[in-house]
């Protein structure tokens, strides 16, 4: 198993980093408390690194923790997480010399909700889910079922442009090939684009009506690094901190504008949302929009100026009277 080898190497490297005092912390993944789930492991302890794992369920974007940890950090990063780290460096939130990036080439992460949909069972009722190249094998009640990986990977993984980290200290494996399906990755957006304008607004009204303002989208987003968010400003109060659809929608529109050029389409906001609001249909649209307008992809070059603090005299202005 390829993951097993990568895992062994990761543990060795992580242990060495801690032992040699090159880092104060290691951030990686360990086995979670629910079936198939993985969970972030943040540790100073060199024995704990034996719990580090690599598997097709390492979904969290761990760069989220970089802005709060003090000291030097060794961090496990997939392609998208890696770009988030670079983006944080661009924004002066993280110093390059303070992070040791343990890059993991990522073949895409398995979306257990999709698996549940396909087999009609909840994740805790499945015996096993394994990745085998471009297939995923699901064992239910002792019976094996095979699905093309493109049907069970997260939507954002299907649209991934850079599965292999570009900015790293140690690359734990050779670059991995990706099962891409750009159309599937943009499915939500295309459905919306096919609707008349009023219908799109009504769609979002309905979706945001069930937001409970847990702010998991904001809390889990590495690009949302502000210490104080406009939502909680009270003088002036821009929007009410009350879960009404109007205020929820404004919050999310502004959040997207704030993370424009920082969002790497890691998909964490949508995954974290406990009430299934299709947030990635907003973030991915913004991701593509800044690419179209300014040929800017987040987190590609640590020397580059952040998108919105920068300008070109030739920027498009056909919309200006």
Report the site for another protein in 208-267 (rule: CB under 8 A).
209-210, 212-216, 218-220, 228, 230, 232, 238-244, 246, 249-250, 253-254, 256-257, 260
- Under the criterion CB under 8 A, does residue 119 sit at the interface with another protein? no
Q: Does 315 bind another protein (CB under 8 A)?
A: yes
Q: Is the Cβ–Cβ distance between 163 and 106 less than 8 Å? A: yes
Q: Which residues in 140-159 contact another protein (CB under 8 A)?
A: none
Which of 9, 35, 72, 114: binder of another protein (CB under 8 A)? 35
Contact between 67 and another protein per CB under 8 A: no
Q: Are strands 99-103 and 170-171 parallel, antiparallel or unpaired?
A: parallel
- In the complex with another protein, the residue whose CB is nearer, 8 or 246, is 246
For residues 237 and 243, give the distance between their C-alpha atoms in angstroms, rounded to a whole number: 15
- 8 Å CB contact between 298 and 261: yes
CB 172 within 8 A of CB 9: yes
Q: Which stretch binds another protein (CB under 8 A): 74-82, 87-95, 162-170, 199-207?
A: 199-207
With binding defined as CB under 8 A, does residue 305 bind another protein?
A: no
* CB 35 to another protein: min, Å: 6
The closest alpha carbon to 269, from 218, 224, 204, 209, belongs to 218
Name the minimum Å distance from CB 149 to another protein.
23
Q: What is the CA angle 81-86-92, rounded to 5?
A: 125
Q: Rule CB under 8 A: which of 69-108 touch another protein?
A: none
Does 117 contact another protein by CB under 8 A?
A: no
- Asked if 129 and 195 count as a contact pair (C-beta separation under 8 A), the reply is no
Beta carbons within 8 Å of 31's beta carbon, 6+ residues apart: 37, 38, 39, 51, 53
Q: Which of 37, 177, 183, 191 binds another protein (CB under 8 A)?
A: 37
CA 224, 101, 43: angle at the middle one, nearest 5?
80
By CB under 8 A, tell whether 304 contacts another protein: no
């Amino acid at each position: 198993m390829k993951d097993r080898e990568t895992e062994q190497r990761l543990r060795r490297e992580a242990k060495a980093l801690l032992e040699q005092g090159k880092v104060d912390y290691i951030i990686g993944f360990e086995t979670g408390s629910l079936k198939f789930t993985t969970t972030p492991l943040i540790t100073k302890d060199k024995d704990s690194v034996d719990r580090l794992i690599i598997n097709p369920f390492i979904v969290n974007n761990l760069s989220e923790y970089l802005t709060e940890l003090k000291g030097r950090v060794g961090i496990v990063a997939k392609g998208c997480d890696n770009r988030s780290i670079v983006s944080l460096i661009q924004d002066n939130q993280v110093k390059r010399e303070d992070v040791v990036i343990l890059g993991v080439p990522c073949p895409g992460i398995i979306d257990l909700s999709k698996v549940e949909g396909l087999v009609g069972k909840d994740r805790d009722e499945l015996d096993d889910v394994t990745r085998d190249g471009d297939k995923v094998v699901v064992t239910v009640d002792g019976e094996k079922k095979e699905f093309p990986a493109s049907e069970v990977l997260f939507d954002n993984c299907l649209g991934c442009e850079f599965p292999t980290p570009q900015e790293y200290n140690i690359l734990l494996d050779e670059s991995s090939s990706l099962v891409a399906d750009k159309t599937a990755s943009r499915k939500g957006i295309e459905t919306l684009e096919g609707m008349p304008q009023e219908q799109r607004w009504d769609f979002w009204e309905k979706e945001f009506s069930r937001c409970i303002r847990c702010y998991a989208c904001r809390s889990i987003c590495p690009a949302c690094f502000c210490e104080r968010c406009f939502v909680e400003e009270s003088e002036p109060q821009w929007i009410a901190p009350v879960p009404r659809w109007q205020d929820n929608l404004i919050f999310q529109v502004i959040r997207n504008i704030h993370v424009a050029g920082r969002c790497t389409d890691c998909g964490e906001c949508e995954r974290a949302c406990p009430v299934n609001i299709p947030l990635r249909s907003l973030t991915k649209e913004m991701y593509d929009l800044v690419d179209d307008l300014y040929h800017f992809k987040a987190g590609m070059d640590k020397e580059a100026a952040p998108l919105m603090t920068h300008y070109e005299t030739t920027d498009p202005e056909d919309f200006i009277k």
